[in-house]
Structure 1
């Protein structure tokens, strides 16, 4: 059953042609990933297929009776709403039933209420809010009442992803869904998509994710789309075969072109019509050979500064924000050629630790001693700070016009940019014209050309295409210094690190020997906490099981709380607890004494808090009758 069809799509931006006469189809049950180099037009193609961007030419059609969910790379959320309100504002049959139920309650319409309750039962929508909370929690969003306006860019992406997943559409279109997710959230999303029977179309550079989720790979290369039936490993095999055949064809065409070029040069300027077919064939052949693009080789074997015996010593490092402990007496001495991965859930303090090691943030206590020869190269995930009105080559030349390789040879900024897949034309583009991935590639180049000997990479794989990731891995494998990496790309980490720091919460850091997969297998082999707790205690008398008689059926239907009332009930518990804590803090201050004005203000505040606690407790008791 065909879900989506695209015929003869073309799209250009100014003189830049992304693709021309592109045709694509998607059937029910397909799970397709679009891959390709940064700037090749993947995000643009995805938004055209989702219907949010119009092509210059061509037609996109969707099956009329299906629902479509689309996750944009930069989702637009209503900042006036809370997280829960944004998710509930989505489109699905269950959400329609929830909204109808809320409306019937609001207008006290018994007929509409009965119909809405029937729909809620039929669609199993009573548990919908619990499902939303579970999905948001798995994606790292715990506070569902938090205003969207206070969320970071990564948190907004996760809220938008949760909203799309809870809708359970027939066709799910996702643009870089694993960006801004921690490793556990990515594995949750993997499981979710693998157990979902829907149809999937996505853009992703996460190779493990592609291999485990997709059954088709579509590569956008040179404005053409090449489709492969199979997972990512199968795609790599068949892509090599295609490129080998294309290279052979290109060599053949170039040999023919040389012969034809000699014939063209021998012809008089006034050519007769008799040889026009041969002239046309020459022009077509010239277009074919000129139009082929070969990727520059990303040879990153740059010279690094000498690294001494003393590198980086961390002793009893501690850091907390308010009540949250991120590090508690962390100690480690970095050795030469250390390759360490840093893992943990979002918010555990990974970036905070990196900022302390590089001197950008002070610890609460502890000592960091840096060796005299250490030169950090810090690639951050923060907002890019590149001069938008400057040309790409000028940005690099401002750092260094000539760079030395480990062999002693020198390369110019232009040559190095070519190795980073910036062709000559792209080098003279303004930074403002680059795609997100191209800007990240330029940012990475600017870090490496400064000849660091201790690389700290915070999410270097975000927005980088697979070609760039492969060559970056090769460089890091041969890098003669220390490497500390935070990344959600499990394949990238598995290839590069030899042990991992695991931030387990409450300031604890586990140093595990091995890569991420080694650690994950070890962790999964450990007995679950619930298993240990629930083990039967030996020599304990078993009590007889008493079966209670079923309670009599109520004569009246018990009132159900609306979703808003349920949220209010849960929020009241937290608010009352917070007020009680504030009251206790102020009482402690009163007992310690102070100025007369302070004592008066504290006494007045306690009185106000007690009034609030009484009001909220009354409302909580009122709602508790219906829970």
Structure 2
């Protein structure tokens, strides 16, 4: 059953065309993710679908009998209402019945009103609905129903908007970045909720784990064209790669044919036969195809990292609390060279406070933070850029100098640097306040990296970045030689770039977990679930005493080293085969040889540690 049809819509702002002649449909039970680069018009398309904006051409046709809801980045709540009043403000008949019942409970002496409310609950089968909506509020941490909207944080308002939509059970749900402002526990609950509920979804999200587990179709807007993939995110990646390879092969073929046809065109006399005119028309079609090579505008990240000494950052018995809320309690940690650490935990457990203590933005109640003399911290905060009124994009970068140093003694102008971050010459003179959320994040990332830090701290870096930019950022961070500390709810991102976690449990409890997010989830899931009524979290440190001479961290390290050695051996064999088969180009020989030597050296180092742990196992 078709719920909604988008027919040949176009949208422009001045001379800038966002998209034109786009058509697609949304059918019952589809869970569609819409993927496009920032600035391609994703939000405009969602606003057009929801009737908040009009297309320049085309139309959106919505089936008359369906209920549709839109979760945008901006909440649409009444500031003076409480959480409870906001929920009951909808025209949902069952909610009205529950509202009357809740009021009757407050006045049990009015027996007639109470009996009527009780009977209405029975007649509308509202008991299960009440249980479910309260569970939604509980999962989204909105349990104080008397709180007024005006006193809620931005994240709480977003969660309340989401709760209201879920409670009202629309047939079609349009979501713009639904996982923003949710902690990992909430995100995983929302994933399972969408998996079991019969809701048709159309969403924009950068959360690739969410895409993988929730969506059954991907709709991609790429270079002005729409492509549909009937599968999840992994399927999309595979098929997109095949599509691009096929397109490029087709273009290469057209270019070869174009050269031949161009020579023929130049030989022809002015007076042409009908046959030659037909061939001439074909020539222009071939020419268009041959010149259609994809224009990949990709962010180019580069850094001239400051030299790093032996001492990095040491935390000695740090304590911090706000009133009765303990953030850290005698916490000690020594960052090692090349550390790649992720921080996870529920909202409110002190993750951002920890970063501010580390950077000495706020003081600790007790203890010491010792920063090595050679350490230069780059701190990407959630607050982002605070531009001066009337400041343009290029002015932000020129505050760091007209020319920026790069690696190996090279320099680059402020304008050239901005071009690498996808700000063309025209965009560089836009006012900063006119930039989109994604563009602001990209500009802010640029200002952090041009300071050439060797200790990079990223607090929720993936919010508002499109998937294309995320992939580039991940590639950069994988090669980043300094220390990396990341707070993120993006599980895909964390899996890719960190190999150790600090798990914030709340009330000063912080666990050092060796592994990435998937390792952590697998471990958590392997523990026998704790009974709900106990509300006590199993501590893996307490439940894993030393066995076979190794403690839990060492067991994890031992397993990890075995996997790493196997992967390195495979890479080593792959490069050796290239050399033995003569498949290494002359200009690549030195680079491949150095890569091989580095792999061999790494294998030797890891094998040495493997033997150390093996010996300890036998003690």
Compute the TM-score of the two structures, normalised by the length of structure 1.
0.77
SS at match of 1:381: coil
Q: How does 1:446-461 map to 2 (within 5 A)?
A: 446-461=447-462
Distance 1:357 1:103, change over 3 A: closer
SS at match of 2:137: helix
2:587 aligns with none
Q: How does 1:154-169 map to 2 (within 5 A)?
A: 154-169=155-170
SS at match of 1:164: helix
Q: Are the aligned partners of 2:21 and 2:58 in contact in 1 as well (CA < 8 Å)?
A: yes
1:363 aligns with 364
1:486 aligns with 487
* 1:341-379: CA deviation from partner (whole Å, max 9, x where unpaired): 111100111001101111111111221111111111000
**What is the distance in 2 between the residues matched to 1:199 and 1:277?**
49
Which of these two proteins has the greater Rg computed from alpha carbons?
1
1:378 aligns with 379
1:49 aligns with 49
Distance 1:279 1:311, change over 3 A: same
SS at match of 2:360: coil
Q: How does 1:132-143 map to 2 (within 5 A)?
A: 132-143=133-144
Query: Number of paired residues?
Result: 532
Q: Are the aligned partners of 2:98 and 2:130 in contact in 1 as well (CA < 8 Å)?
A: no
**What is the distance in 1 between the residues matched to 2:457 and 2:239?**
35
Residue 517 of structure 1: how far off its partner (Å): 1.4
SS at match of 1:529: coil
**What is the distance in 2 between the residues matched to 1:503 and 1:231?**
31
Residue 260 of structure 1: how far off its partner (Å): 8.2
Distance 1:522 1:287, change over 3 A: same
SS at match of 1:241: helix
Q: Are the aligned partners of 2:248 and 2:293 in contact in 1 as well (CA < 8 Å)?
A: no
Residue 503 of structure 1: how far off its partner (Å): 0.9
2:234 corresponds to 1:238: no
**What is the distance in 1 between the residues matched to 2:367 and 2:502?**
18
Q: Which moved more, 1:459-468 or 1:79-88?
A: 79-88
1:426 aligns with 427
Q: Are the aligned partners of 2:460 and 2:487 in contact in 1 as well (CA < 8 Å)?
A: yes
Residue 264 of structure 1: how far off its partner (Å): 9.5
**What is the distance in 1 between the residues matched to 2:517 and 2:137?**
24
Distance 1:116 1:3, change over 3 A: farther
* 1:423-476: CA deviation from partner (whole Å, max 9, x where unpaired): 444334433442211111111111001100000000000011111111111111
Residue 410 of structure 1: how far off its partner (Å): 3.4
Q: Which moved more, 1:520-529 or 1:324-333?
A: 520-529
1:620 aligns with none
Residue 51 of structure 1: how far off its partner (Å): 2.3
Q: Are the aligned partners of 1:92 and 1:169 in contact in 2 as well (CA < 8 Å)?
A: no
SS at match of 1:386: coil
Residue 290 of structure 1: how far off its partner (Å): 7.2
**What is the distance in 2 between the residues matched to 1:333 and 1:160?**
41
* 1:530-570: CA deviation from partner (whole Å, max 9, x where unpaired): 39979xxxxxxxxxxxxxxxxxxxxxxxxxxxxxxxxxxxx
2:213 aligns with 212
Q: How does 1:111-150 map to 2 (within 5 A)?
A: 117-126=118-127, 128-150=129-151
1:325 aligns with 326
Q: Which moved more, 1:61-70 or 1:329-338?
A: 61-70
Residue 393 of structure 1: how far off its partner (Å): 3.3
Q: Are the aligned partners of 1:10 and 1:55 in contact in 2 as well (CA < 8 Å)?
A: yes
Distance 1:272 1:413, change over 3 A: farther
2:20 aligns with 20
Q: Are the aligned partners of 1:176 and 1:205 in contact in 2 as well (CA < 8 Å)?
A: yes
**What is the distance in 1 between the residues matched to 2:38 and 2:320?**
38
Q: Which moved more, 1:15-24 or 1:408-417?
A: 408-417
SS at match of 1:306: coil
Residue 407 of structure 1: how far off its partner (Å): 4.0
Q: Are the aligned partners of 1:176 and 1:203 in contact in 2 as well (CA < 8 Å)?
A: yes
2:86 aligns with 86
Q: Which moved more, 1:44-53 or 1:330-339?
A: 44-53
Q: Are the aligned partners of 1:19 and 1:222 in contact in 2 as well (CA < 8 Å)?
A: no
* 1:394-413: CA deviation from partner (whole Å, max 9, x where unpaired): 43233243334334443333
1:556 aligns with none
SS at match of 2:531: helix
**What is the distance in 2 between the residues matched to 1:290 and 1:388?**
43
Q: Are the aligned partners of 1:341 and 1:499 in contact in 2 as well (CA < 8 Å)?
A: yes
**What is the distance in 1 between the residues matched to 2:250 and 2:418?**
28
Distance 1:504 1:286, change over 3 A: same
2:5 aligns with 5
Q: Which runs of 5+ in 1 are unaligned?
A: 535-627
Distance 1:399 1:456, change over 3 A: same
**What is the distance in 2 between the residues matched to 1:110 and 1:57?**
59
RMSD, aligned CA = 3.3
Residue 103 of structure 1: how far off its partner (Å): 9.1
SS at match of 1:140: coil
Q: Which moved more, 1:364-373 or 1:377-386?
A: 377-386
Residue 508 of structure 1: how far off its partner (Å): 1.0
1:65 aligns with 65
2:152 corresponds to 1:151: yes
1:180 aligns with 181
Residue 295 of structure 1: how far off its partner (Å): 2.2
**What is the distance in 2 between the residues matched to 1:343 and 1:302?**
27
Residue 139 of structure 1: how far off its partner (Å): 2.0
1:539 aligns with none
**What is the distance in 2 between the residues matched to 1:315 and 1:382?**
28
Residue 259 of structure 1: how far off its partner (Å): 7.9
Q: Which runs of 5+ in 2 are unaligned?
A: 536-619
Residue 331 of structure 1: how far off its partner (Å): 0.8
**What is the distance in 2 between the residues matched to 1:528 and 1:255?**
63
Q: Are the aligned partners of 2:251 and 2:292 in contact in 1 as well (CA < 8 Å)?
A: no
Distance 1:101 1:144, change over 3 A: closer
Residue 188 of structure 1: how far off its partner (Å): 0.6
2:603 aligns with none
